[in-house]
Amino acid sequence: MVGIIDETQLFYPLGTRIKIANNYGTVRYVGEVIGHMGTWLGIEWDDGMRGKHNGIVDGKRYFQTQMPTAGSFIRPGKVGPCASLEDAARERYLNYNSSNVDESLIREAQASLQASLFEVVGMDKIARKQSKFEQLSEVSVDETPVNAAGYLKDFTQLTTLNVNHTLIWNWETVASITQQLPSLKNLNLSSNRLVLPSASQIAELEPAFRHLKHINLSSCGFTDWKDVMQTALLWPHIVSLSLQENPLSQLAVVDCKRIFTQLQELDLHRTNLMDFDQVVKLSNITTLRSLNLIENRIEEIKLPDCEPQDKLNMFVSLEKLNLLHNPIWNEAAAFNELDKLPKLNHLCKTPHLKSNFDEMVSKAVGCIAGLQFINKAKITAGERRGAEYDIWKKYSLEWMQATQQGADALREFCRKHRTYPFLVKKYGSPADFVPDIQVKKSNLIKLSIVHQATGEIWEKKVPRMITVQTLQGLVMKRFRLTDIVPQLCYHDAKHPELLVPLDNNAKTLDFYSVQEHDTVLIQ
């Protein structure tokens, strides 16, 4: 029996990945189980509901699992066969016809194009190219039982490799793959469980990863940021790293002399980072240009204080920040904080439940001076003028009160509204506008409505709360416009250089800060 156990332990070292049907697991124990004949494998399943226990059977602990029902014992004979990357690639790419071009590569192309459907031209040509190893630039063997490298030196032009959801379980295997592929730049290891490398292994294996630029470690079971940093010593000069869907609620300051020396893109999508203070710990990565924080339940953004005219010496290269699907409750305060970042110009964000997209965009553009794109759409000059003017009007009374109360009050106001001094320089003092705010507003405002094509002017009193859509209907009736719905914009009477489009039919004139004697243009 001892000999059988020793042979099984050699074949299934602790940490080995296995797959039975569609269930993946990790070998945590090899040996006998009291009261049961033969040799058993103790498995911790990726699906925490797949097992029966946590490694304890009849009061004896054999191994430990993270979830209370993730463990079970199986016979070694139930484990399916494994394959080398070489064998899996030959099977997938040599046994081709025009109808079985690698579907996983098509899925990746669809994702990169952000399109669910697209036409692939020349499928037979692609299939034939896939069958010649020396011509392949991309290979995908996802969801295959690969756990070894094999002979890979025929892949002379390979730049992208997808081994997502395979049975690779240690960095020695990964290194044996990458060192045979000197042209490899992009490596997808997502949904694999890799044993943490030791210091001696890191020293031995690190040269095999020096040519890599992009590594995907999404859903790899990382729970401790220290493990990420230790693993990163294998590839200290990586440019792009994805850690999506790893439950990393706590981060730590990075030693950028040892790791992430050239990191430009970091994906922390859905990683349980609820506290933005944890994100701030990454601010010393001076090369970081893009940070993805989608779906992390972040409610507030707070950065260290600095003078309103200054920027922080943090995230000094960060240009793109993705905050989609985070319940940030105070948008204006969050955008004011983000204005402290020296190079931020791309922002993605979902509106708060009590806000809407147009209001959010107006706040973001008005509060972040350097913003150029929001949700991947370029901010036009007109949108910028309108947003800045809205902010200029909204806080004009507070500005005047702060200037009257002294330097400390003004400094506090500027701390909360960092862009306002710039807006005052651009649009002038709001002193003339403040009295209009202080007096009780009439429900009606008198407008000059100008038909630009004919020059005809219509003087009309309308409710402040009239919607743009209703005003369009009145305009169509008055000027007998029957062909198309007119596009409207307005000039502020006191600042005629500003032209603000009334581009949301559901919004009211009050939302756009339209005032008495302003001019509405029919375009």
3-state secondary structure of 343: coil
CB contact burial 290-312 (16+ within 10 A = b; e otherwise)? bbbbbbbebebbebeeeebeebb
| Token pair for 132 | 């010649």
pTM of the model: 0.76
Domains of the chain, by residue range, sit at 10-78, 84-90+134-381, 444-522
444-522 CATH, one of 3.20.20.150, 3.10.20.90, 3.40.640.10, 3.30.479.30: 3.10.20.90
Q: Provide the mean pLDDT of the chain.
A: 88
3-class state of residue 111 by DSSP: helix
- HSE, CB side, 13 Å, CA atoms: give it for residue 473: 7
Q: Give the integer Cα–Cα distance in Å for 439 and 423.
A: 24
Query: 413 or 111, which is more confident?
Result: 413
- Which residue's structure tokens are 């709001």? 430
Model confidence at 101: pLDDT above 80 = no
Alpha-carbon 422 to chain mean position? 31
**DSSP label of 449:** E
Q: Are 320 and 240 in contact (CB under 8 A)?
A: no
Which candidate, 335, 343, 439, 348, places its Cα nearest to that of 390? Answer: 335
pLDDT at 131: 53
Backbone φ, ψ for residue 54 (5° rounding): -110, 25
- 125-140 pLDDT per residue, tens: 544 554 567 788 999 9
Question: Per residue in 263-307, pLDDT tens?
Answer: 999 999 999 999 999 999 999 999 999 999 999 999 999 999 999
219 CB contacts (<8 Å, ≥6 apart)? 190, 191, 244, 245, 246
Tell me the per-residue pLDDT of 437-477, one tens digit each, with 9 for 90 and over. Answer: 444 567 889 999 999 889 999 999 999 899 999 999 999 99
Six-digit token string for 300: 């507030």
CB-CB neighbours of 437 under 10 Å:
14
Q: For residue 267, what are its two tokens?
A: 């994906």
- Could you confirm whether domain 10-78 is CATH 2.30.30.190? yes
**pLDDT band (50, 70, 90) for residue 121:** very low
Query: With DSSP H G I counted as helix, E B as strand and the rest as coil, what are the percentages for the chain, rounded to 5?
Result: 30, 20, 50
Alpha helices (H) along 165-224: 171-178, 199-205
**Tens of pLDDT, residues 475-515:** 999 998 888 889 999 988 777 777 888 988 888 898 888 88
The CATH class for the domain spanning 84-90+134-381 reads alpha beta
Q: Which residue has the tokens 């194009």?
A: 113
Please check whether residue 72 is in contact with residue 53, taking contact to mean a CB–CB distance below 8 angstroms: yes
pLDDT at 104: 58
